[in-house]
Amino acid sequence: MVTESDAKVFPINTYLRNTALRIAIDRDEIARKLGRVNEHSSYPGYESTVEMHWIGLLAEMPLEWFYPDLHKGQEWVVDSIDTNKPDFIYKGQNIEVKCHTWYKWYETYFVEKRRWDKKKDVSKFLFCCMINDVPQRATVSKALGWIEAERVDTYLVDNVKAWAAEAYAIPVTDLKPMDDFFKEGVVNGKTPS
């Protein structure tokens, strides 16, 4: 069970913000060049696909720095049509990372159904993250917790009006603390209670 005090907090400094923005711009340019942009361009609530990538990178980059045993499942910028690879790999297990902009602590973490359904068979675990403001002003990135991928689609689907999309509604209290993930045995199926 995760509470706000369990979240791992990573400061967002100028270096992280600017590096993440440069990578987000590169991602967007490659996606447009390869015709992948349509997959992401229909998400209301984002100013652009650059912003969507920027938000994700502000979660993924600190995770990689703070947890050195996590290994990228694909490059920061994928110059290919195939982007259906995990964000990270840990001890041979695939991990997907999702990030939202949260201005306060919420009780539910929404995972957009259409995007998750494309990734759920690729990943064994989901890391749920947030930044505390839009990327230009965010000061912290938080890793809220994690959940087994197979459990995500067991949650009720809710229509999130801000996204104009269906999403799995995961109670934040159902997430497990990040520190528990890295305890011995988790990736071998021995989830701590």
Higher pLDDT, 193 or 182: 182
Structure tokens at 18: 């600017």
- Considering only the C-alpha atoms of the chain, give the largest distance between any 2 of them, rounded to a whole number of Å: 46
Q: How far apart are CA 131 and CA 104, in angstroms?
A: 10
CB atoms within 10 A of CB 25: 16
3-state DSSP of 59-105: HHHHHHHHCCCCEECCCCCCCCCCCCCCCEEECCEEEEEEEEECCCC
CB atoms within 10 A of CB 181: 22
Nearest alpha-carbon partner for 135 in 8, 48, 72: 48
CB atoms within 10 A of CB 23: 19
- Range in 30-34, 45-49, 75-79, 146-150 with the lowest mean pLDDT: 45-49
Q: How far apart are CA 147 and CA 154, in angstroms?
A: 12
pLDDT score at 1? 77
Domain boundaries, the chain: 4-183
Q: What is the pLDDT of residues 48-91, one digit of tens each?
A: 688 888 999 999 999 999 998 999 887 676 565 566 788 999 99
pLDDT above 90 for 96: yes
Higher pLDDT, 33 or 113: 113
Q: How far apart are CA 50 and CA 27, in angstroms?
A: 8
**Is the alpha carbon torsion for 151, 155, 159, 162 positive or negative?**
negative
Give 192's pLDDT tier (boundaries 50, 70, 90).
Answer: very low
Give 98's pLDDT tier (boundaries 50, 70, 90).
Answer: very high
Model confidence, pTM:
0.86
**Is the alpha carbon torsion for 26, 118, 17, 47 positive or negative?**
positive
